[in-house]
Chains A and B, each alone.
Chain A
Amino acid sequence: MKDIETDSYSESPQDLRRVVPLFGAGLTRAFQRRRKAAPESSADDEWAIKARPVPRPGRWIATVVVGLLIAMLVHGLITNGTFGWGVVRHYFFTSLVLSGVRLTVILTVVSMAAGIAIGIVVAVMRMSPNPLMSNASRLYVWFFRGTPLLVQLIFWYNIGALYPKISVGVPFGPSFTSFSANHVLTSLVAALVGLSLNEGAYMAEIIRSGIIAVDVGQIEAARSLGMRHRLLLRRIVLPQAMRVVIPPTGNQVITMLKTTSLCSVLAIAELLYSVELIYQRNFETIPLLIVASLWYLLMTTVLSVGQYYLERHFGRGHVTMLTLNLQHRR
């Protein structure tokens, strides 16, 4: 039994080659194999595995049902005039929408960057042997993760009511300068502060999980090579933590992109607030929400592609399971 023809019988409708004999490559391959096998002795044929696959009628039924649903959805999108595809096209690249997109990107990038920076500090603090440090870090995460972001945003927007004056100086001592809170914390700054502090709490936990995932032996090896704390963290621990950190962080970025729409309550003209401004005037609510949604989808698609390459970069040197295949190999 030299040659076990694993491919010659396919098992399911996934393998459409057998059902619809149009897929050239597969067919040619099967052909070549057959031709090659022909001159061999009949003893080999006798031992070739030509088992009949398990019938899977459920898969066929599911295929038909899902196919029907998709057809209905597409039909509706085309025939229902209320979607207003013309209006969507008209507003898609207007300057108000584009500036909304720009502000959404700025909010996302700045608050993610700040959130990651805060997250690294809070995660390292959490792992500090100093109990004050670790408990302060715990308190931070507990508070910012435990209250709704919308509340936090409105809170920062109204911080002037709590602290009318912000002063810079020696703690409990003299102050050098002071500003009016309402003056410094414009709605944009309030939004950035609110989003960053909230994101920092989530990122801290994500980064901590990444650091924990690094094998202790790595740290020992690095120490034995004479690496100092900071070098060890930068060159050995964080790059390896990245592999674990990136998938959930990609998730966070995409969530953040859409969460910036909460800033519309602070009258910040990001994407959602921009289209709101338009449909409040012309009442084309649905088409304009579609404009916003398509932009959000477009941006998340770009981010997903970026995440793929980042994962590939930080996954170097690792043998990973990219597909969850629990069955035997085909």
Chain B
Amino acid sequence: MSMAPLDTNGASTPGATDAFVQVVKATKRFGPTTVFENIDLIVGRGKVSCIIGPSGAGKSTLLRCVNALERLSAGRIYVGGDLIGFKEQGDQLYELTDKQAAFQRSKIGMVFQRFNLFPHMTVLENIVEAPVRVLRQDKAEVLERARALLVRVGLSDREKSYPAHLSGGQQQRVAIARALALQPQLMLFDEPTSALDPELCGEVLDVMKQLAHHGITMVVVTHEMGFARDVADEVVFMDGGAIVERGTPIDVLEHPAEERTRKFLGSVLGRAPS
């Protein structure tokens, strides 16, 4: 796999040669409102990056741009060296066709806050759908892999259930299995536990921890500070459409340098800013 071009200056930090996700000078506007501006972000191959911050900071939108569910207003995003949403020839950008864009997305797994399982399909059908219909893989092989994934997320006995008959935590675990069935190299999590009751969060976070240990690259937008502390290689704090602070979990979560970070952590963790 080719590396991201080196002339993307703003984003080159130590370790950039091993960058898997590279966000360069990214800006997103909806009409007159700016969601985020001039964001630079690098996630190394096999690393876990947690994006935290108050709602409205632009975290989710940034994540959705990485998957080309939204289009950037300016800047570039590279995943595994490929420019997202466009083809670059010389100085000219060419919009990807529906087919090319779809293929690009199939290599990036995404897990949503509201699970978004297909309600008219059973658990197994949900998982098998994309590998068989999108990647046209052999159905028997995919079924075998799907069952293995269900074992991994602890739901092997529910393959014939419909999503409506599962708890939120179970649905989210199926959603993770569905994304993994495409064997992506990057997993994006958009507040995966925010719609869950506190006692159901644990089972989803456990699956995600297990994933992180398997060495898949992950970008996680979350409010679970415990998860960020335990699993993240880097924690990024966003506020008001900009990255305020980034660093190791200990640096950002325990010894935040910025006042805004301290205030946010104080309100989230329920303790006064120190």
Interface residues of A (CB under 8 A from B): 215, 217-218, 220-229, 231, 235-236, 239-240, 243, 314, 316-319
Contact = CB atoms under 8 A, between A and B. Distances in A.
B66 to A, nearest CB: 11
A158 to B, nearest CB: 45
A283 to B, nearest CB: 55
Interface of B: 67, 69, 98-99, 102-110, 112, 114, 116-122, 129-130, 133-135, 162-165, 175, 178-179, 182
Contact of A221 (B98, B99, B107, B112): B112
A225 B69 contact: no
B112 A217 contact: yes
Question: DSSP majority for the B interface?
Answer: mixed
A224 B107 CA distance: 9
B116 A218 contact: yes
Contacts of A221: 110, 112, 116-118, 175
A156 to B, nearest CB: 38
Given A240-B120, A317-B119, A228 B99 contact: yes
Nearest to A314: B120
B164 A217 contact: no
Contacts of B104: 226
Which of B116, B117, B162, B175 has the most A CB atoms < 10 Å from its CB?
B116
Nearest to B164: A319
B102 A227 contact: yes
Contacts of A227: 102, 130, 133-134
A225 B110 CA distance: 8
Nearest to B163: A317
Given A235-B129, A317-B122, A319-B165, 16 more contacts: A218-B118, A220-B69, A220-B116, A221-B117, A221-B118, A223-B69, A223-B105, A224-B109, A225-B129, A225-B130, A226-B106, A226-B130, A227-B134, A231-B134, A317-B121, A318-B120
Contacts of B99: 228
Nearest to B117: A221
B120 A225 contact: no
A239 B120 CA distance: 8
B80 to A, nearest CB: 15
Contacts of B121: 317
